[in-house]
Amino acid sequence: MNKTVFITGTNSGFGKAMVELFATKGWNVAATVRNKSEYPDLFKAMQNVKLYELDITNYEQVDKVAIGAISDFKKIDVVVNNAAYCLMGPTETTTMEQIENQFKTNVFGLMAVSKAFIPHFRENNSGLFINFSSASARFNYPYIASYGGSKWAVRGISESLGIELKPYGIEVKTVYPGVHATKIFTKLDHGANGNDPVYIKNYKQYYANFLGAQSSVTSVTAPETVAMEVFKEASNPKGGRLNIITGGDAKMYEFMKKILPERAFQKELVNSIIKPITAGGVTMFKLILGKNIKPLYTSIPENLTK
């Protein structure tokens, strides 16, 4: 009997790459998107993929979709909590509504999906959650306090659930991706306004340096690399790694944080906003990312940087 994986947020990036890989490997895939009408042909050619409409912040809908997927496939073996987005900008100029929405999707939505499938896993005495955190939950960057904070929450949730659910045969693994060629930088919620005098006077120069560093490297690690890592872990639910750090940048900063004194590590990141990235810095970053790369697309409002 083929195994089945349930994956949230599959219209692009990691989610789409995972659906395609699992499907080609013979798994059944229950894939979700927020609005099916926007993607009428998504996975249409894949007979072992069923697409569901799901907004993970709609908790009633989460429960209904989970029940529907279990009914359709009889047994779900793996749930991949991938759906998320990034809020970026100075905390001072970010609204509390934006911060709340960030946590509602990245944390509460993930918790809702997990809660919806725990009874099914418990009754089967088996099951695996693979939660997408971020490299920013191993160390955090400037200007993503809310996004990084939400991903640190995912890290904590995963570690706690991994212990809490172990007696019922349920495993929890966590993925910490660095910068990859997803569309996350084209869907940013900016906590900054180019017309805000507070932003212009106090933050624009530093934020422009930070954004310039993000967009200076035009090709980064392909999302298919992460999809393969997830597939390996899904295929070995009782073994393998509990924490999967992916991407050259994530591994580099993970290593740096271990060997550098706290203030020295902080200084490295402060320098990344004080000064524009150099040509040498771009070259080094390219070498760290390796060869399995794809174009990185960004969409930054011009009035934030010019």
What single string gives the DSSP state of each residue in the chain?
---EEEES--SSHHHHHHHHHHHHTT-EEEEEES-GGG-TTTTTT-TTEEEEE--TT-HHHHHHHHHHHHHHHS---EEEE-----EES-GGGS-HHHHHHHHIIIIIIHHHHHHHHHHHHHHHT-EEEEEE--GGGTS--TT-HHHHHHHHHHHHHHHHHHHHTGGGTEEEEEEEE-SBSSSGGGS-EES--TT-HHHHHHTHHHHHHHHHHHHH--EEE-HHHHHHHHHHHHTSTTSS-SEEEESHHHHHHHHHHHHS-HHHHHHHHHHHHHSPPPHHHHHHHHHHH-S-EEEPP----GGGT-
Which residues face 293 on adjacent strands?
Answer: 221
Catalytic residue among 3, 52, 133, 146: 133
- Known catalytic residue at 147: yes
Q: Which of the following is catalytic: 3, 16, 50, 151?
A: 151
Distance of CA 23 to the CA centre of its chain: 21
The answer to whether residue 133 is catalytic is yes
CB 8 within 8 Å of CB 83: yes
Residue 89 contacts residue 14 (beta carbons within 8 Å):
no
Catalytic residue among 141, 147, 176, 253: 147
List residues with catalytic annotation: 133, 147, 151
